[in-house]
Amino acid sequence: THTHWILFMFLLTLQRVAPGGEAGVWPMPRKMSEGSERYALHPQGFSFRYGRDSSAQLGCSVLDAAFRRYFALCFPENTVETDRLSVSAGHGELTANTVWGALRGESHFRDLIIRLSRNLFLKIEDFPRFQYRGILLDTSRHFLPVRTILKTLDVMAYNKFNVLHWHVVDDPSFPYQSQSFPDLSNKGAFHPQSHVYTQADIRKMVSHARLRGIRIIPEFDSPGHTQSWGKGQPGLLTPCYKGLHPSGTFGPVNPTLSTNYNFMGRLLKEVSTLFPDPYIHLGGDEVDFSCWKSNPDVRMFMKKMGFGTDYGKLGSLYFKNMMNIIETLNKTSVVWQDVFDYHSSPKSLDVVEVWKAGCYMCEVRRVTAAGVRVILASPWYLDQPGPTHEWSRFYTVRPLAFTGTEHQKRLLIGGEVCLWGEYVDGTNLAPLLWPRASAAAERLWSDEAQTSSVSQAYPRLAAFRCKLLRRGVQAQPLFVGHCKHEYEDL
């Protein structure tokens, strides 16, 4: 990914203006030269162009689309004040080694251009601290309308988030409309028509995300958290027993049946075609062994396999089979930390997501010591609504503050903000996410030494929030105050 250099230029009409500081630039870039020359932009004289020597040229759909999108953001009708500007000529240059870098560099131009002072600093050097900067959305506990997800992707891009971890299905509902297994959503969704994501919906989301430099990683959590699957796929879940008889309730996926792995293989094959990202999240959290224990067929299987009473071994077996499936699909699997904890050969795992509270750094140390990559989520659980000033709690996380070698540190590939859906749907998603997730965004993008002060971050984040309001995002206030353009429900 570092082989091509992209160079593009933006031609513009400039006028010197008074200095205005760095308010609203978020997340903080690595280097921003605040030289004495400051310019204001004239929209009529402004255009994005590919550089002559750029390896990307007209026809690069991602950047072509970005030019169009960002021009509108740079010059929204109501903020152009042409009378203040006079005309002179100039140009700026953006050099990036990938299309995605160009995309995110561009978002800096936009940041700088549309803030109140309309200053432009021509020299910015920037790169992300972590390659994985994610947000988890949960569409099982509540259905999130497609439009809500698309809008969230837009705001993610403003924050330089680059991964949507989509926790598609779970116990309460199965909104993924499968081509191979239509009964899963026909019987497992809250409603088979109005509360499902069709294949077309998903293609739209994936494309919308891609144009904004965002990967979508789907999670099909199993073997636990699968109650909704059972409705449309008889035989998938383990029948729980009360004494000698089935209790009528069901537990995790039945790991003793090869038919279930066949089903999983076919479902994940479909999913892996729909989602181009190399990662697939397999879940694996909170597997309740008690139902497996209660079931005589499972107990017999345990005996046959020589597992004794260690149901972690059964869980391991399940995940070995699942990871074989993922391997044949040429994908990389992500699992929740539980799998690392009960797995008999944890080193065989690809990527582990650390989510539990308590000493999460201990777990990060253990997983990286085993040579396995880590995504850190524990300190960024936003789903429990709390006072907005919690943003500082999310901001002051130090993801690398664990004891370990340099190699271990490099294995921490990034972090993730989790917005679980128990109390979240389209009515409150935006104010719950923004700007609290923005605090995590800066932590994951920027240099920690340059962004360690909450009090210095506060005015920048407050200004960034006002910018989000102007773009129609329902980002809630940090504290007492106002924005030039307040959010108004129209």
Which residues carry out catalysis? 286
Q: Cβ 172 to its own copies, closest distance in Å?
A: 5
Question: Token pair for residue 162?
Answer: 């680059």
Looking at 347, 389, 409, 410, which residue binds its own copies (CB under 8 A)?
Answer: 389
Site for its own copies contains 490 (CB under 8 A) = yes
Closest CA to 169 of 206, 197, 149: 197
Site for its own copies contains 19 (CB under 8 A) = no
Site for its own copies contains 476 (CB under 8 A) = yes
* Cβ-proximal residues to 458 (8 Å cutoff; 6+ apart), any chain: 478
Site for its own copies contains 76 (CB under 8 A) = no
Closest CA to 28 of 443, 467, 393: 443
Element (H, E) at 205: helix 199-211
Looking at 386, 398, 403, 453, which residue binds its own copies (CB under 8 A)?
Answer: 386
Site for its own copies contains 151 (CB under 8 A) = yes
Question: Token pair for residue 330?
Answer: 């040429």
# residues contacting its own copies (CB under 8 A): 45
Site for its own copies contains 384 (CB under 8 A) = yes
Q: Choose between 148 and 396: whose C-beta lies nearer to its own copies.
A: 148
Stretch that binds its own copies, among 68-76, 127-135, 349-357, 467-475 (CB under 8 A): 467-475
Looking at 385, 409, 453, 456, which residue binds its own copies (CB under 8 A)?
Answer: 385
> What Rg value do the Cα atoms of the chain yield, rounded?
24
Stretch that binds its own copies, among 158-166, 284-292, 437-445, 471-479 (CB under 8 A): 471-479
Q: Cβ 333 to its own copies, closest distance in Å?
A: 27
Cα–Cα distance measured from residue 63 to residue 50, given in angstroms and rounded to the nearest whole number: 9
17 within 8 A of 38, measured Cβ to Cβ: yes
Q: Choose between 185 and 476: whose C-beta lies nearer to its own copies.
A: 476
Looking at 347, 422, 453, 456, which residue binds its own copies (CB under 8 A)?
Answer: 422
Element (H, E) at 289: helix 289-294
Name the DSSP letter for residue 240: E
Cα–Cα distance measured from residue 260 to residue 272, given in angstroms and rounded to the nearest whole number: 18
Cα–Cα distance measured from residue 263 to residue 330, given in angstroms and rounded to the nearest whole number: 18
Site for its own copies contains 258 (CB under 8 A) = no
Site for its own copies in 84-143 (CB under 8 A): 141-143
Site for its own copies contains 145 (CB under 8 A) = yes
Site for its own copies contains 430 (CB under 8 A) = yes
209 within 8 A of 215, measured Cβ to Cβ: yes
Site for its own copies contains 480 (CB under 8 A) = yes
Looking at 184, 361, 376, 469, which residue binds its own copies (CB under 8 A)?
Answer: 469
Q: Cβ 66 to its own copies, closest distance in Å?
A: 23
Give 47: exposed, middle or buried? Use CB within 10 Å, 0-12, 13-18, 19+.
Answer: middle
Cα–Cα distance measured from residue 414 to residue 471, given in angstroms and rounded to the nearest whole number: 27
Site for its own copies contains 148 (CB under 8 A) = yes
Q: Cβ 334 to its own copies, closest distance in Å?
A: 24
362 within 8 A of 305, measured Cβ to Cβ: no
Residue found under tokens 């260690």: 310
Site for its own copies contains 388 (CB under 8 A) = yes
Closest CA to 171 of 137, 199, 142, 144: 142
Site for its own copies contains 452 (CB under 8 A) = no
Cα–Cα distance measured from residue 336 to residue 342, given in angstroms and rounded to the nearest whole number: 11
Site for its own copies contains 78 (CB under 8 A) = no
Stretch that binds its own copies, among 11-19, 124-132, 258-266, 416-424 (CB under 8 A): 416-424
Stretch that binds its own copies, among 37-45, 46-54, 252-260, 423-431 (CB under 8 A): 423-431
Q: 273 — phi, psi (to 5°)?
A: -75, -40
Q: Please, what is the angle between helix 61-74 and helix 99-114, to 10°?
A: 10
Site for its own copies in 162-221 (CB under 8 A): 172-173, 190-191, 194-195
Question: Token pair for residue 177?
Answer: 């409309």
Instruction: Provide the β-strand partners of residue 218.
Output: 166
Is the bond preceding residue 29 a cis peptide, omega within 30 degrees? no
Collapsing DSSP to helix, strand or coil, 281 comes out as strand
Cα–Cα distance measured from residue 96 to residue 104, given in angstroms and rounded to the nearest whole number: 9
Q: Choose between 228 and 451: whose C-beta lies nearer to its own copies.
A: 228
Looking at 387, 401, 449, 455, which residue binds its own copies (CB under 8 A)?
Answer: 387
How many other C-beta atoms can be found within 10 angstroms of the C-beta atom of residue 30?
Answer: 14
Site for its own copies contains 228 (CB under 8 A) = no
Site for its own copies contains 286 (CB under 8 A) = no
Stretch that binds its own copies, among 35-43, 61-69, 109-117, 384-392 (CB under 8 A): 384-392
Q: Which residues bind its own copies (CB under 8 A)?
A: 141-143, 145, 147-148, 151, 172-173, 190-191, 194-195, 384-389, 421-428, 430-431, 469, 474-482, 484, 486-490
